[in-house]
């Protein structure tokens, strides 16, 4: 690889990472929890490795999100097989974070954890302001399937809030 193409690749990588910095951090925090920094590094490594294959057939943000989400899901699956975590008492967790925003975030995290991986990925993309077309392309399904999935998730959320 020539110095010029290496520089172009680095510039492209820097732009993609900067434009998606907040989104990548949220994915890493949700899937990585205490190990979010490690997961973020893995996501960035996968983005760097995948960059030569990016053919700009979709938006860079959609491509980036797909790489990040796939990396996070794989990382999460592998981590579950390697490490047996202990459960923290809910009362201990509640004592640590008592602010309303923290409580809302924890409730959202619990709801997301209750979803299947596909529903979770769909909801995360929806919360990241992806439109149905972008979500459908990323997930490899039709827009109708995304509309149906989001409707079911909303209904489940309403039911979940009543429990």
CA distances from 28 to 11, 38, 76, 140 (A): 23, 8, 10, 22
**pLDDT of res. 45:** 95
* 106 belongs to a structural domain: yes
**pLDDT of res. 101:** 77
In whole angstroms, give the CA distance from residue 63 to residue 47. 9
**Count of CB atoms situated within 10 Å of the CB of 87:** 6
| Rg of the chain (C-alpha set) | 18
Across the chain, mean pLDDT equals 84
In whole angstroms, give the CA distance from residue 91 to residue 149. 33
Exposure string over 63-72, b if 16+ CB within 10 A, otherwise e: bbbbbbbebb
**Last residue of one domain, picked from the residues 84, 112, 134:** 84
In whole angstroms, give the CA distance from residue 21 to residue 105. 19
What letter does residue 34 receive in the DSSP assignment? G
Longest CA–CA span in the chain (Å) reads 60
Question: pLDDT for 26-77, tens place per residue?
Answer: 999 988 888 999 999 999 999 999 999 998 888 899 999 999 999 998 888 8
The CATH number of whichever domain residue 159 belongs to comes to 1.10.10.10
- Taking each helix axis from N to C end, the angle separating 36-50 and 21-32, rounded to the nearest 10 degrees, works out to 130
* 136 belongs to a structural domain: yes
**pLDDT of res. 69:** 92
Range of the domain at 138: 98-163
User: Do 77 and 31 fall within a single domain?
Assistant: yes
pTM attached to this predicted model: 0.68
Pairwise pLDDT comparison (28 vs 160), residue with the higher score: 28
Structure token digits, residue 104: 């809302």
Number of domains in the chain: 2
Portion of the chain with pLDDT greater than 90, in percent: 48
């Amino acid at each position: 690889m020539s110095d010029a193409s290496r520089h172009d690749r680095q510039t492209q990588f820097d732009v993609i990472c900067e434009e998606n910095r907040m989104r990548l951090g949220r994915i890493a925090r949700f899937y990585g929890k205490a190990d979010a920094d490690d997961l973020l590094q893995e996501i960035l490594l996968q983005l760097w490795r995948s960059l030569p294959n990016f053919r700009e057939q979709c938006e860079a943000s959609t491509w980036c999100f797909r790489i990040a989400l796939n990396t996070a899901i794989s990382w999460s699956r592998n981590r579950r097989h390697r490490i047996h975590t202990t459960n923290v008492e809910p009362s201990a967790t509640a004592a640590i974070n008592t602010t309303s925003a923290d409580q809302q975030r924890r409730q959202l995290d619990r709801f997301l954890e209750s979803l299947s991986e596909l529903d979770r990925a769909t909801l995360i993309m929806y919360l990241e302001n992806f439109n149905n077309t972008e979500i459908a392309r990323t997930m490899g399904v039709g827009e109708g399937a995304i509309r149906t999935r989001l409707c079911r998730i909303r209904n489940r959320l309403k039911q979940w809030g009543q429990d």
